[in-house]
Structure 1
Amino acid sequence: MAKVPYTKPALSYTDQLQRLKDRNLTIENDSKAIHLLEKISYYRLSGYWYPMLKIPKSNHIFKENSNLKNAFKLYCFDRELRKLISGELEKIEVAVRARMIYTLSHTHGPFWFDDSTLFQNNWTFNKTNARFTKDFSDSDEEFIKNFKLNYSENLPPSWMMLEITSFGSLSIVFKNLKPSREKRFIANSFGVNETTFQSWLHSMVYIRNVCAHHGRLWNRNMSITPSIPTSPINPFLNITTLPNHDVTQPPIDLNNRTYYILSMIIYLLNTINPNHTFKEKLFDLLKKYPTIDVKAMGFPEGWENENIWKWKNIVISQKWYNILSKKIRKKFNKLHF
């Protein structure tokens, strides 16, 4: 289809409000509606009233009994969900940094990240180290200032360097490491193999960026999808697909939906701190917003029966899991309190 120039004009708040009314959206209080349009914006809110549109949605006509108040509630839920997820991703990021720094520094020395022989792709290695150099140069952390004053190396040891780099850089460094016992150990420490772990890291960086830029998350189809582990060490998900409405097509993977992301976060937190309260906080949030349709978030039928979504989980170390026979492992993966 040929592209055409964009000719839609900018509308005043009053005109925006009238357009919503003309399209059958119930507005209970005009002054409050104008306030929301002014402080949040028409376009940002449109992502939350979009589910209320009749089919075809391109006509922009709202279903009966649709109102702005419900769209705003959905916006508030999404905002609180992003804050909750951001806090948990921080815990995972810190734990990943700690494990990588400790494991690789004890095997390859404090400056392992500057050793090109440990990495697969030289171009990625050089680009990452250029990023490290800039981070080091720009940092105003006191421990970095002290290092610059007292030591001759171009970059500090990994326990300093990785503290001032982004989660994205951390993810790239892990992915670019050559296959090794240390790389496997780091991934296994979080209950998955190295291929799954690097996929999950990449996905968490993407989710963290969505949250940081206040993007709509609750019913998002993720453009960067985490892989589905084939043999996780601890209980994960039995249901990872949804039936396809077109029976001639294969089932639809759930790993691009918010439900899967939440499950992934719970799985990782279970290995970091089995006493975490993320599930409780999430359940409290859903209770606070009872009108939220969890199916729109990708929650499948029977999700509450999944081991990982039950109140408690059994988590064991990689060492003891490897000792178990394959038959006992299968039984273990079905256990739950």
Structure 2
Amino acid sequence: MGNIATTFNQQIALLESRGMVFDFEPNKVKEILLDIGYYRLGFYWHPFVIDENHNLIKGTKFSDAVNLYYLDVDLRNILTKYLNRIEINLRTNVVYYVSNKYRTNPFWFIDPKVINQIFINNIDRYYNDEFKLSNKPIKKHHQKYLNDKYAPAWKTLEFFSFGVILKIFKNLNDKEIKSRISNMYGVYNLSKFESLMDTLIFLRNTCAHCGVLFDLKLPKGISKIPDLDFNNNDRMSLDSSIKVVLYILGKISESRRQEMEQEINCLFEKYRNHQILRRIIEEKTNFVYK
């Protein structure tokens, strides 16, 4: 559509000229375009594009793109819920084991004896004025303890992101603590554990920023470990990423792992008999119907 803004009627006319079949009432189509947006919804009719002029497979329905969009929404909600469980669990373990190893040092995350100096040099990227003001317990700490530059680890790390928690883990000097935590998740190679966590953070960030999930491709292949198999040996697909979530989650709570697996299967099952969407799910996500 170039660099010129267009009206709903122009957007609809363009899609019709490319072969889109509108199976909703015109007002409903406009409501959807206003709700989701033409550009974002374009990610979900892109699998139906057949040439460089953006023409669509004959018979492509507007509802097909909308259904694919809502598949992504539902999937994002499921993944976010269980990724949060993993994030909180990792944070808790890092705080518990490191704080108990260095009991007399509540600020161990800025101690070069505990943490790599490179991380410490960049701490103000995470622990800045916005951080202190936007997190109420941190703000209250500094109001009470005026001379403290930082709050203790068990307060501070509670408000760091999943990505920063992993950075702290990677920069711990004590390999024994790192191995102990990694082993708790059934991963006995530190570099592979960190790689799996990188996968989860990439997935979490995609969900958090409403990125497109159904055709997600990881920037690098997932590390192979025992008991973790990928369909068609594809180590970069959405389905493989989901398998990592299930594996790590199962080490925290087997019942939660089963719950998540059931929710994922039920979601995809809704499209088992939808020939077009099932094909897209299988080709793009690498999910295998049983």
Displacement of 1:144 in angstroms is 4.9
Q: Determine the C-alpha separation between the residues in 1 that align with 2:130 and 2:167.
A: 15
Give the residue type in structure 2 aligned to 1:216.
V
Q: Determine the C-alpha separation between the residues in 1 that align with 2:137 and 2:41.
A: 42
Counterpart for residue 34 of structure 1: 30
For 1:132, what is the secondary structure of its paired residue? coil
Displacement of 1:152 in angstroms is 4.3
Counterpart for residue 258 of structure 1: 238
Q: Determine the C-alpha separation between the residues in 1 that align with 2:237 and 2:254.
A: 24
Counterpart for residue 8 of structure 2: 13
Q: Determine the C-alpha separation between the residues in 2 that align with 1:256 and 1:213.
A: 19
Counterpart for residue 107 of structure 1: 101
Change (3 A) 1:165 1:174: same
Q: Determine the C-alpha separation between the residues in 2 that align with 1:279 and 1:104.
A: 32
Displacement of 1:114 in angstroms is 1.6
After superposition, the C-alpha distances for 1:297-332 in whole angstroms (9 at most, x for unaligned) are 44266x86xxxxxxxxxxxxxxxxxxxxxxxxxxxx
Change (3 A) 1:64 1:7: closer
Counterpart for residue 80 of structure 1: 74
Displacement of 1:216 in angstroms is 0.8
Q: Determine the C-alpha separation between the residues in 2 that align with 1:300 and 1:73.
A: 17
Counterpart for residue 89 of structure 2: 95
Q: Is the 8 A contact 2:138 2:151 kept in 1?
A: no
After superposition, the C-alpha distances for 1:132-152 in whole angstroms (9 at most, x for unaligned) are 244652244246514641574
Counterpart for residue 25 of structure 1: 20
Percent of residue pairs bearing the same amino acid type: 25
Change (3 A) 1:147 1:278: same
Q: Determine the C-alpha separation between the residues in 2 that align with 1:118 and 1:179.
A: 7
Please give the residue correspondences for 1:297-308 in structure 2 after superposition, counting only pairs within 5 Å: 297-299=284-286
Give the residue type in structure 2 aligned to 1:296.
E
TM-score (norm 2): 0.87
Change (3 A) 1:203 1:41: same
Q: Determine the C-alpha separation between the residues in 1 that align with 2:35 and 2:109.
A: 45
Change (3 A) 1:166 1:119: same
Q: Is the 8 A contact 2:231 2:286 kept in 1?
A: no
Whether 1:286 aligns to 2:286 is no
TM-score (norm 1): 0.76
Whether 1:65 aligns to 2:59 is yes
Whether 1:210 aligns to 2:206 is yes
Q: Which moved more, 1:78-87 or 1:128-137?
A: 128-137
Which one has more relative contact order, counting CA pairs under 8 Å at least 6 apart? 2
Q: Is the 8 A contact 2:196 2:223 kept in 1?
A: no
Change (3 A) 1:139 1:44: closer
Give the residue type in structure 2 aligned to 1:52.
F
For 2:127, what is the secondary structure of its paired residue? helix
How many residues of Structure 1 are paired with residues of Structure 2 in the alignment?
A: 279
Change (3 A) 1:180 1:140: closer
Please give the residue correspondences for 1:1-337 in structure 2 after superposition, counting only pairs within 5 Å: 8-28=3-23, 29-54=25-50, 56=51, 58-109=52-103, 110-120=106-116, 122-134=117-129, 137-142=132-137, 144-146=139-141, 148-150=143-145, 152-178=147-173, 180-192=175-187, 193-223=189-219, 225=220, 227-230=222-225, 232=226, 235-237=227-229, 239=231, 241=233, 254-276=234-256, 277-290=259-272, 291=274, 292-293=277-278, 294-299=281-286
Q: Determine the C-alpha separation between the residues in 2 that align with 1:135 and 1:107.
A: 30
Displacement of 1:42 in angstroms is 1.0
Give the residue type in structure 2 aligned to 1:284.
C
Give the residue type in structure 1 aligned to 2:93.
R
Displacement of 1:239 in angstroms is 4.8
